Structure 1
Amino acid sequence: MSVIARWCHKHRLVTVVVWLALIIGLGALTGSAGTKYNDTMSIPASESSQAMDLLRQSLPASAGDSDQVVWHTTGGAKVTDPAVQQRMTGALNQIATAPGVAGVTGPYDGPRGALQVSKDQTTAYATINFAQEAHDLPDAEVQHIIDVAQGARETNLQVELGGQAISQAERKIGGAADLIGVLAALLVLGLVFRAAGAAVMPILTGVAGVATGILGTGQLSHLFAISSTAPTLATLVGLGVGIDYALFIVNRHRKGLMSGLSVEDSIAKALNTSGRAVIFAGGTVVIALLGMFALGLSFLNGMAIGAAVTVSMTVLAAITLLPAMLGFLKLRVLSKKQRRELAARQAGVGVLVPYAHASRRRPSGVPGHPETVFTRWAGKVQAKPLGKALLAIAVMAVVAVPFFSIRLGNSDAGNDPKSTTTRQAYDLLADGFGKGFNGPLLLVAQTPAAGDQQALTTLVDRIKTVPDVAAVSARPTQPGQAIAVVQVVPVSSPQDKATTDLIGTLRHDVIPKAEAGTTLHVMVSGPTAISNDFSHTLTSKLPLFVAIIVGLGCLLMILAFRSLLVPLIGVAMNLLTMGVAFGSLVAVFQWGWGSEALGAGGAGPVEAFVPVIVISILFGLSMDYQVFLISRMHEEWSHSKDNSRSVRVGHGETGQVIVAAGIIMACVFGAFLFNGQRVIAEFGMALAVAILLDVLMLRLILVPALMHRFGKANWWLPAWLDKVLPHMSVEGEPEPVPGAVATDGPYDEPELASANHRIQ
């Protein structure tokens, strides 16, 4: 690592120019080639996906995306009034001839069209049948349709649009949430470092890593199925980890400068110690994210690729771009006070720190380690570990309790922000035709024999009597056509549990009875059924994924710390962190405690894929904090073999940086609560709450308290296992034994004052 650091420092201008060229080049490529994000959540082996594949082969026109134009009249006007009919017919005719549109079915097209007008005749809709699925449609073509439809608006005529293609075209990536998170992180860094240069470095590093990661992900969307949500998720994760990783390196570099090292030597030492930890932490996050490939779901694979690429680029920026920028900054990475002290020391001045000022600082109780707020807290945890551990567990348990009522699913457009056209179209359809109208089920029937059509007719009549079914209609078929499509409109909304139950009733009770004794084969599909199948498959695979993640974390910590108990403590902490993440999700989004205020819609199920991605991210981040905390304890243990001293020193010395890193993470994640997208708000809530409580309750209280109680057992490893396992160094060279040189932040003044006292 020191070789990389010295090269980047020596060729710092070249390094910065290469990074700028990379960002500009990727930006130009994205501008010319565009992106091809894909939000399809199908599972090839599922019934709903097989039905859609059959439609694509047999009835291509029925396999494209279907969206709606919805209009509503006020002031006593009706949608059947000649003026309204003329205005909307003109707009629909324009849409019908637009590129990418296979056809438009409106309410003014004869007797069948009358079914597309509400009973009070104030709401109507038209169905736009696209020639392709939503993810294959160019945004420009969809935007043209939006403009044409909304151009028909007038005083008493509201026109809105809904559907997957419309939602994708209207979705905005990034925005104020990114800026709010960056500004909050900058404020925290300024308070920690008290130097503008030091505060800006992690921000620039994180932004550079995220920019290249997002632009690179956009180009990878041409090769892999990557969701349009992936860039926002990658930004959320990349900013958090990128700023934190740079924080650790800058903090170590400042310590090196205050200990008397040259700028180049200090950068090299920082990269050779904290830089190694950053690579280990980043690698852990990437491995956890790519572990989602084990689930075999292309939708999640795309999410994993986007986040993993971005995290990798933030790590690369931290070990290459950051050393170059620190070389330009030189000693300005230190605060003015630190630069004065360093200059005085180099000039050989005896009085480095006013002794009267330093005398107010008390010893920490551990020889060679000055007292700070965090060392005093470490002493209090050591004095009464059991009580504080019980308090931390109680807090975590209270927040995690809602997790036991979690319901995974897929929220619908009813949870879009109220200002969006998709949400307003959803509400208009729900008010005019019923909630289930926003998520009809499609029954795809194969009728190879002559009697199968009659069996299908009987099935349609039977479905009309099934509870929670609002309407059933069979699409017209051509003579000799062996594929038929039936639309079933539930009473309940797409995200309601009742709709999920209806899908099960149709598949396992109603349809098998109609198929008995015939060659009729009917499959339940449509966007709602596809989402339901996706959720069911993902839920069934979730325990395996958690086991893989927990096992990987345990193995890595055994290798790093040569201990059995420390990894088990780490696993327990990971599970507690996951519990509070999911508990907060249920309380806010499933129970609806504040989701409307966040602009994330009302109460609804937690998105099925959110827990998997949250587990991956939290595993990596909590491992990061665990390694940073335990590695300092382990280093002290290697010197003293005194468990109490090791835990107290490690706890006290790492507390400030861990808290700062955790607060920065929480600020970045929390800012995305106001992104305007429900799924991103779910990620923001889960990660912000989990990281903040992980740092404050687990790393600052529960972990050191348990380690005080367990004593020397913390560091026990069977001799035979120690011989078998490979040795791995997380932070490279060990820290020097504290001496008379100054250290960073609150530690330098007492040591300098002590030297001053000896001189006097």
Structure 2
Amino acid sequence: MTEHSPPADQPASTPGPLGRLAGLAFRRRGRVVLAWIVAIAAAVGLSSAFGGDFAADYSAPGSDSKQAQDLLNDRFPAFAGDTVDVVIQADDVTAPDVQADVTALLGELVAAEHVAAADDPYAQPGAISEDGRILSAQLRLTYDNGANVPLEDSEHLLELAEGAERPGLEVALGGMSIEFAEQDEIGSEGIAMVAAAIILLFTFGSVVAAGLPLLVALAGLGVSAMLTGVIAALIDVPDWSTALATMLGIALGIDYVLLMVTRFREWRAVGLDPERATIATLDTAGRAVLVAGTTVVVSMLGLFAMGLSFMRGAAVVTIVAVFIVMAAATTLFPAILGYLGRHVDRLRLPRGRGRRAALVAEGGHVEPSRGWLWWGRLVDRHSVIGTVVGVAVLLALAAPFLGARFGFPDAGNALEDKSVRQAYDMKAEGFGAGSNGPLLMVADMSAAEDAEALNRVLDDVARTPGVAAVTPAMLNDTGDTAVFTVVPTTGPQDPATEELVHVLRDDTLPDVAAAAGVDVYVGGVTAMSIDGTDNVVDRIPVLIGGVVVLSMLLLLVAFRSVIIPITAALMNLLSVAAAYGVVALALDGGWFGQLIGIESATPMPAFIPVLIFAVLFGLSMDYEVFLISRMRESWVRTGDNARAIVDGLAGTGRVITAAAAIMVAVFAAFIPSDEVFLKVIGVGMAAAIFIDATVVRMMLVPAVMHLFGRYNWWLPVSWERRLPQLHVEGRPDVHMPAPERRLEPVG
């Protein structure tokens, strides 16, 4: 291969800002690499010095359950803390030896860190089942949210419970804090990196080329992962957001550098030296990376529209990870090319030796794979069939979402070997299904008309259909707040329980409040889950509308086209709908759900569609930018729409396929998780990315664009001067080497 430099009488055209940045990083590569090492060390230091604990508030702002919790915090702090259920099963829980063991265990549990108090089940009415075989007591914690309890404290409680078991005496603990403590680490990040390495080796056939995306992704991960603790010190960040941000950062970092390594090799194939090839790569593919990363950030910003603190925390952590990935791709990557650019095809695998010969120059441009050219022309010839088939496949996959049931999975959906599941089953057996979803009623007595007002409230609530039992009320020291528990006849996930909550709030309690001057709020975990679900579902249209509009505006400016943003938005929405359908099918608990460890029908957490939409819409736009930028590059060069579509598809088909395979592997690493919502995020995202990269990007997008013809690139004349020129496709022609001149013999 001949390396070309600009002839003396033909100075190289000035590259854009990204190209100049790439040239600077290439020439001063030592300083850039050192700066990234310092950045990682600084992030580690900041995290160690200022890192905060994870925290999350899953309550719905302004909801009835939130008001109940706030009232407890202000007036009745003894009942404001989260609880842990202690459930014991024996032949006779009232036997003296069993009673002695239970009393000793409760004493040890109360002495544990962050346990404020414990009920005495032998003095508490209704704490022993009618057959005398099951006993239930509650530990009240100093934390008002079980998700925030330190993991080691919950693990200590589990150890105490396990140590109290003996033949004939079973002990199980339930509650949110215990559920978090029993979640197993699966090493998702390690699985993802190994899978990505294998795919990259298969794609490039070279150890050096495959290692470049991994190096950049690991550097970005080193900074963003450490900064998560610093962010947690400033705002509430749920613990699961780290897994989401890490996996998205790994996937994006690898995908972006995969695109640029591919383009770098193409520039080398047409004869550019390593430095000029690096500049040309950032000046073309680098622009697409910045636009693609911006679409991901726009999608994640949509989570702020949900008005939920834990969503904001997850969004901030993820956005920081994306920005760091973009910074690594545009600075660290060209610096590493300064060391390894000449050797990008070294350490080739045996299967990849013939691939380099396929990279031949034709008219100054690298000829793409013949297989992708054949596929592009096939889609061109059958564009109507491709459109119909693509839409039909997506709608069929989306269909199960029509029967989706929103709600929060609980301990009843946990694996049978978990303590929380055993406690759930024992309580249901001894006290009825509703015992696992009690409603915590908080009464404001400050305006009560007489001392009997509270009794009238209890009587009216007890007569409400769907109520199995009402516990006696407990007053605080000042007598202005009362707490009592309502046990439904149905389980926490049963639609009848949700109906009971609405009946109590809309019918029973308003009538009582008007007559007795007592304001009663329905709170507790079950009511909080119902309120949180309703709140999120109501806000989903705001999220979707805002993200779609902003993404369309970005694509309008990037590609200077009206049709492309509209079709991209519609197709991305179809991809999201298909992902929702796959998730709904998994949660149904049938054969597909059992394949991934979901053993029974499980409700869909309302924030799952929100997260899937935000992440998938951004990633889908990534692939759209990769594909359309190469199409526009060909369109600007040739003015032929059909050729532009075929060239773009052939030029990016291999990259998008490899990128999608990496994304699928990364998100599939979530599936072994014990957390249902991480599991369904994994299966939903993995399926959706596979569908998006195959059915949508490789068939539906080019098929629809063939149908629109030259209208794909139409922009009203009045908009031409108003819209800025981003040149997302770059200016590849200015980087092409000048043709070699032949010297004619004299005389």
How high is the TM-score relative to the length of structure 2? 0.90
3-state secondary structure, aligned to 1:512: helix
SS in 2 for 1:94: helix
Give 1:631 shift. 1.3
Q: Please name the residue that 2:232 is paired with.
A: 221
Residue in structure 1 matching 2:274, options 259, 263, 282: 263
Q: 1:31 to 1:164 in 2, by over 3 A?
A: farther
Counterpart-to-counterpart distance in 2, 1:304 and 1:9: 33
Contact 1:400 1:580 survives alignment (8 Å) = yes
Inter-CA distance 202–371: structure 2 relative to 1 (3 Å threshold): closer
Q: Confirm whether residue 95 of structure 1 aligns to residue 109 of structure 2.
A: yes
- Residue identity matched to 1:98: A
Alpha-carbon distance in structure 2 between the residues aligned to 1:72 and 1:260: 77
What is aligned with 1:53? 70
Query: For the residues of structure 1 that align with 2:647 and 2:303, how far apart are their CA atoms?
Result: 37
Residue identity opposite 1:88 in structure 2: V
Kindly indicate whether the alpha-carbon contact (under 8 Å) linking 2:583 and 2:683 is maintained by their aligned counterparts in 1: yes
Quick one: structure 1 residues 389 and 327, their matched pair in 2 at CA, closer, same or farther if it must change by over 3 Å?
same
Q: Deviations over 1:218-261 (max 9, x none)?
A: 22112111111111111222222121112112212222223332
Structure 1 residues 522 and 336, CA, compared in 2 at 3 Å: closer, same or farther? closer
1:92 Cα deviation (Å)? 1.0
Comparing 11-20 with 627-636, which one deviates more in the overlay?
A: 11-20
Deviations 1:448-501 (A, max 9, x none): 345455233223223333333222113332575011112111222222222211
Q: 1:277 & 1:152 partners in 2: Cα distance? A: 61
Q: CA deviation at 1:169?
A: 3.6
Deviation by residue 1:106-125 (Cα, 9 ceiling, x = unmatched) = 323x2x25x22223333222
Q: Distance in 2 between matches of 1:599 and 1:370?
A: 42
C-alpha separation in 2, matches of 1:28 and 1:168: 28
1:604 aligned counterpart, secondary structure? coil
Residue 437 of structure 1 is matched in structure 2 by 435
Alignment of 1:510-549 (within 5 A): 510-549=508-547
Instruction: Evaluate the alpha carbon distance shift between residue 66 and residue 370 of structure 1 in structure 2; reply closer, same or farther with a 3 A threshold.
Output: closer
**Distance in 2, Cα, partners of 1:85 & 1:599:** 38
Change (3 A) 1:285 1:371: closer
The unaligned stretches of length 5 or more in structure 1 are 343-351, 742-760
* Cα pair 2:114 2:142 within 8 Å, conserved: yes
Please list the CA deviations of residues 72-115 of structure 1 after superposition, one character each: whole Å capped at 9, or x if unmatched: 23xxx33233332222221211222233222111323x2x25x2
- Map Cα deviations across residues 311-337 of structure 1 (whole Å, 9 max, x no partner): 222222222333333333343321567
Question: Residues 338 and 294 from structure 1, CA distance in 2 versus in 1: closer, same or farther, beyond 3 angstroms?
Answer: same
**For residue 474 of structure 1, what is the aligned residue in structure 2?**
472
Query: Offset at 1:387?
Result: 1.2
- Whichever residue aligns with residue 716 of structure 1, its letter is W
Q: Residue 194 of structure 1 contacts residue 335 of structure 1 at CA under 8 Å; is this kept in 2?
A: no
Show the 5 A alignment for 1:392-471: 392-449=390-447, 451=449, 453-471=451-469
1:139-150 correspondence runs (5 A): 139-150=151-162
Q: What is the CA-CA distance between 1:18 and the residue it aligns to?
A: 3.8
| Structure 2 equivalent of residue 753 of structure 1 | none
Deviation at 1:33, TM superposition (A): 5.4
Deviation at 1:208, TM superposition (A): 2.8
- SS at structure 1 position matched to 2:669: helix
CA distance in 1, matches of 2:562, 2:414: 47
Contact 1:452–1:520 (CA<8 Å) still a contact in 2? no
Specify which of 163, 170, 180 is matched with residue 151 of structure 1: 163
**Number of the residue aligned with 1:6:** 23
Alignment partner of 1:164 out of 176, 198, 201: 176
Does the C-alpha gap of structure 1 residues 417 and 235 become closer, same or farther in structure 2, counting only changes over 3 Å? Answer: farther
Counterparts of 1:284 and 1:504, CA distance in 2: 40
Which residue, out of 703, 706, 721, partners 1:705?
703
Deviation at 1:59, TM superposition (A): 0.6
Question: Using a 3 Å threshold, how does the CA distance of structure 1 residues 582 and 453 change in structure 2: closer, same or farther?
Answer: farther
Compare 587-596 and 601-610 and name the one that shifted more.
587-596
Question: Paired residue for 2:83, among 66, 73, 76?
Answer: 66
**Is residue 601–residue 678 contact of structure 1 (8 Å, CA) maintained in 2?**
no
Match of 2:9 in 1: none
Equivalent-residue separation in structure 1 for 2:215 and 2:170 (angstroms): 45
Alignment check: 8 A CA contact 1:67 1:165 kept: yes
Match status 1:207 vs 2:218: yes
> Quick one: distance in 1 between partners of 2:219 and 2:95?
57
Moved more, 725-734 or 51-60: 725-734
Q: CA deviation at 1:262?
A: 2.6
Letter aligned with residue 69 of structure 2? M
Q: Deviations over 1:382-435 (max 9, x none)?
A: 111111221111111110111222332211122233333222222222222222
Tell me the distance in 2 between the aligned counterparts of 1:122 and 1:143.
26
| Alignment check: 8 A CA contact 2:303 2:311 kept | yes
Using the alignment, how far apart are the partners of 1:487 and 1:517 within structure 2? 21
Q: Within 5 Å, which residues of 2 pair with 1:208-607?
A: 208-335=219-346, 369=367, 372-449=370-447, 451=449, 453-477=451-475, 481-590=479-588, 592-607=590-605
Identical-residue share of aligned pairs (%): 37
Is the Cα–Cα contact under 8 Å of residues 630 and 729 in structure 2 kept in the other structure?
Answer: no
After superposing the two structures, state which structure 1 stretch, 84-93 or 393-402, moved more. Answer: 84-93
Q: Which moved more, 1:521-530 or 1:401-410?
A: 401-410
Q: What is the CA–CA distance in structure 2 between the aligned matches of 1:282 and 1:367, rounded to whole Å?
A: 26
Contact 2:116 2:140 in 1 (8 A): yes
Letter of the 1:540 counterpart: D
What's the CA shift for 1:561?
1.4
Partners of 1:693 and 1:334 in 2: CA distance? 31
Deviations 1:697-722 (A, max 9, x none): 11111111111111111111110122
Name the CA shift for 1:478/1:323 in 2 (closer, same or farther; >3 Å): closer
Report the 3-state secondary structure (helix = DSSP H, G, I; strand = E; otherwise coil) of the residue aligned with 2:283: helix
1:188 aligned to 2:199?
A: yes
Describe the shift of the 1:144–1:699 C-alpha distance in structure 2 as closer, same or farther (beyond 3 A): same
Q: Is 2:121–2:128's contact at 8 Å kept on the other side of the alignment?
A: yes
Change (3 A) 1:243 1:122: farther
Q: Give the C-alpha shift of residue 289 in structure 1.
A: 0.6
CA distance in 2, matches of 1:590, 1:378: 38
Within the alignment, does 1:125 sit opposite 2:136 as a pair? yes
- Check conservation: 1:363, 1:371, Cα contact below 8 A: no
Q: CA deviation at 1:186?
A: 1.4
**Residue type of the alignment partner of 1:573:** M
Q: Cα gap change, 1:723/1:535 in structure 2, threshold over 3 Å: closer, same or farther?
A: same
- CA drift of 1:143 comes to 3.1
In structure 2, relative to structure 1, the CA distance for the partners of 1:87 and 1:640 (3 Å cut) is same
| Displacement of 1:49 | 0.6
* Counterpart Cα distance in 1 of 2:668 and 2:633: 34
C-alpha displacement of 1:162: 1.4
Tell me, yes or no, if structure 1 residue 39 matches structure 2 residue 51.
no
Shift, 1:272, TM fit: 2.4
User: Do the aligned partners of 1:587 and 1:593 also contact (CA within 8 Å) in 2?
Assistant: no
Determine whether 1:85 maps to 2:99: yes
Q: 1:217, 1:305 within 8 Å by CA — same for their partners in 2?
A: no
**Structure 2 residue identity aligned to 1:83:** D
Equivalent position SS for 2:482: strand
Q: Is the 8 A contact 2:51 2:231 kept in 1?
A: no
Structure 1 Cα separation of the partners of residues 498 and 547 of structure 2: 30
2:712 is equivalent to residue 718 of structure 1: no
Shift of 1:60: 0.9
Check the 8 A contact 1:36/1:218 in 2, yes or no.
yes
Q: SS of the counterpart of 1:222?
A: helix
Q: How does 1:16-35 map to 2 (within 5 A)?
A: 16-27=33-44, 29-30=46-47, 35=52
